[in-house]
Amino acid sequence: MDEPPPPTSPTGLSAYMAVSQLLGLALLATTGAWLGRYRGGVAWHSPLQFNAHPLCMVLGMVFLQGDALLVYRVFRHEAKRSTKTLHALLHGLALAIALVGIIAVFESHRAKGISDMYSLHSWCGMATFVLYLLQWLLGCGFFLFPGASFSLRGWYKPQHIFFGITLFILSITSCLLGITEMLLFKISDSYSHFVPEGILANTLGVLLVAFGLVVGYVLTREEWKRPPLAEELALSMDFKTLTEGESPGGGSQ
């Protein structure tokens, strides 16, 4: 008897995934080039400590968060438990890196005597980070660790998906606000003259938007969503029969 062919990715998904990763790497390279070429690089406990902030935020809150969202599109045929674990680990790593970036900016402000949390960028950025942390904790509690009932998971799942995409958009928006704020602080006199630093930073902003659009497109393509595996279908059917008051064998309770 012939064996069934191995599962394959839907047409176009692999190409979009490759584009998303190329854009993500371009984000990191452009951020590094901007900080290294025009802002003196990155160093801790020095006047350059602030520069760790944009680097960590782009790496954690955009690139790694985007990849965490794409996990369920890449690992379409692996065990659900393993995929959920990787999803949570990537989000956790993104949070840890973003926390380093937040510490860097607060310590840099304190060393230079600059006030904290006065700008729109700081308000949006801190709100996004706090909500992202809350989203991660709730996601782990509902989906990764035992204890939550099927009914609670079913109720929370749409909220989790919605706020996951929303926080990714907010993260990119906060980064765009931060780039604009940094340019106005550092090169306000020459920014309007299309100086190289301004062009490079604007390019970073365009890459952020492009990365967000590609990730969002992959996430919203209905036919690219992870298909339920056999064991997941079985659990879903058991849950359905329980909620409808029927036994798995088909008889009424």
Q: Say whether pLDDT at 206 is over 90.
A: yes
Q: Say whether pLDDT at 242 is over 50.
A: no
Say which range, 44-53, 193-202, 243-252, has the weakest mean pLDDT.
243-252
Which residue intervals of the chain are DSSP H helices? 13-38, 52-57, 65-74, 80-112, 120-139, 150-187, 196-220, 230-243
Q: Say whether pLDDT at 210 is over 80.
A: yes
Q: Say whether pLDDT at 85 is over 70.
A: yes
Buried b (16+ CB within 10 A) or exposed e, 228-244: eeeeeeeeeeeeebeee
This prediction has a pTM of 0.88
Helices 13-38, 196-220: inter-axial angle, 10-degree rounding = 160
pLDDT tier at 62, thresholds 50, 70, 90: very high
Give pLDDT, residue 146: 75
Cα torsion 85, 91, 96, 98 to 10°: value is: 170
Q: Which two tokens stand for residue 76?
A: 């379409």
For domain 35-243, give its CATH number from 1.20.120.1770, 3.40.50.150, 2.40.50.140, 3.20.20.140. Answer: 1.20.120.1770
Give pLDDT, residue 230: 46
Closest by Cα among 173, 160, 55 to 123: 173
The residues near 116 (Cβ < 8 Å, ≥ 6 apart) are 106, 109, 122
Tens of pLDDT, residues 145-177:
877 778 888 899 999 999 999 999 999 999 999
Closest by Cα among 168, 178, 241 to 211: 168
Q: Is 252 helix (H, G, I), strand (E, B) or coil?
A: strand
Give pLDDT, residue 251: 43
Domain residue spans in the chain?
Answer: 35-243
For residues 204 and 151, the model is more confident at: 204
DSSP 8-state symbol, 244? T
Q: Chain-wide mean pLDDT for the chain?
A: 89
Question: Alpha-carbon Rg of the chain, whole angstroms?
Answer: 22
Q: Say whether pLDDT at 139 is over 80.
A: yes
